[in-house]
Each structure stands twice: as structure tokens, then as C-alpha cells.
Amino acid sequence: MSVQPDDRDPDRPAGRTGPGTEPDAGPDPALRADCGDCFGLCCVALTLTASADFPADKDAGEPCRHLGTDFRCGIHRRLREQGYRGCTVYDCFGAGQKVSRITFGGQDWRREPGSAERMFAVLPVMRQLHELLWYLGEALTLEPARPLHDELREALAGRPCPAPAGRRRRSG
Ligand code: SF4
């Protein structure tokens, strides 16, 4: 489901595509999908069931029949009219390019089929992690969440948050 930039759903929340440049200006731009730097992972790794959003069943690990050898979508300008609406709204939160370029060092699943199964298994895990990071970043832009901003910054920096006072364990 490699969503090309010009395929993006016009109804998609604007926040999903608005990169932040400062820590509190929103989620990290690296959490935006960059299909051009991905090996079409969402078009092969995911199990898809025929529905209003995708017209055919597809097993995990089976490349979509529209996925080209260059990892581009062969029908990306006709997705909606051909019944692939789900492909225009799916968002990997940048997990695709992270798994492709960093976790697996740029080795794609066609040239390195031995790593394909692990690569496909990692994608949904990475996506969940990236989605959580997105929400943490987004919360830093929300005024009602201000009392939590310090904790959020600690979490984003990878540091353990101090337990809330009411939940601290007594020592001794
Ligand atoms: S139609 Fe197939 S190749 Fe195109 S974006 Fe959807 S899953 Fe990917």
C-alpha cells in the first residue's frame, strides 16, 4: 500500500502531513511515510481481506499484484476508482523506510529473500512504535496536555519517567 505523495487522501487529517521542526512543534518528520525510500513493505507484508477498501484477499508475504519490481504501485493514480481506497489512507508513520533502510540496512526482500520473513514481521511492530511516537509528539502541541509535557519529553528522549507522586513506593 505504498501511498505516493500525490495519492494522499484529501480528507486525511492535516496534522498527519504537517512536519515539526522543533521538539514541541509536532511529531518528528521522520514519522512521515516516505514511500520512495521503502521497499513497498505494506504492499507485501500485510494480510489484506477483500472489502470496500481493498478488492482482493492477500496473504502476508504475498506481493500485491500491482506492486512493481521497482517497489512502486502500478495503479497509484487510479487507486480509488479501482477499489483500493484503503491504499490511499494507510499510514505507516515512517515505519516502512525505517525497516527498509535502517533495520535491514537497505537490503530489499527481493534481492535478499532470506530476510523477507523477518522484515515483514518487523513492519507492524515498527509501525505501532512509530504511531505511539507520533501521538507523543502531537500531545506536545496540545495545550490541555501541558501538565504532561515534561513527562512526554522524557519519554520521547527515552528516559524513564518518574512515577507520579501518588504511586511512588515507600522505601524502608
Ligand atoms: S494497489 Fe497494491 S501496490 Fe498499489 S498501493 Fe495498494 S497494495 Fe500497494
The string of pLDDT tens digits covering residues 43-52 is 999 999 999 9
| Mean pLDDT, range 150-165, rounded to an integer | 77
25 C-alpha to ligand 1 centroid (Å): 32
Kindly give, in sequence order, each residue whose CB lies less than 8 Å from that of residue 93, ignoring residues fewer than 6 positions away.
Answer: 31, 32, 33, 127, 130, 131, 133, 134
The answer to whether residue 170 is domain-embedded is: no
Q: Give the total residue count for the chain.
A: 172
155 C-alpha to ligand 1 centroid (Å): 35
Please give the Cα distance from 72 to 79 (Å, whole number). Answer: 13
The answer to whether residue 168 is domain-embedded is: no
Atom of ligand 1 nearest to the CA of 79: 1
The answer to whether residue 87 is domain-embedded is: yes
pLDDT of residue 47: 96
State which of 7, 46, 54, 64 you would mutate to test the pocket of ligand 1, scoring each by most atoms of that ligand within 8 A of its C-beta: 64
Question: In 3D, which of 133, 137, 127, 145 has the Cα closest to residue 27?
Answer: 137
Q: Whose CA is nearest to atom 8 of ligand 1?
A: 1
10 C-alpha to ligand 1 centroid (Å): 18
Atom of ligand 1 nearest to the CA of 40: 8
Enclosing domain of residue 63: 5-162
Residues having CB within 6 Å of any atom of ligand 1? 1-2, 43, 64, 66-67, 73, 75, 84, 87
Q: Among 77-81, 106-110, 168-172, which is the least confidently predicted range?
A: 168-172
Atom of ligand 1 nearest to the CA of 2: 5
The answer to whether residue 143 is domain-embedded is: yes
| Mean pLDDT, range 114-134, rounded to an integer | 97
The string of pLDDT tens digits covering residues 52-84 is 999 999 999 999 999 999 999 999 999 999 999
The answer to whether residue 142 is domain-embedded is: yes
Q: Whose CA is nearest to atom 4 of ligand 1?
A: 73
| Residues above pLDDT 90, as percent of the chain | 73
The answer to whether residue 172 is domain-embedded is: no
Answer whether residue 102 shows pLDDT above 90: yes
- Domain count along the chain: 1
The answer to whether residue 138 is domain-embedded is: yes
List the grid coordinates of 155.
519519554
The answer to whether residue 67 is domain-embedded is: yes
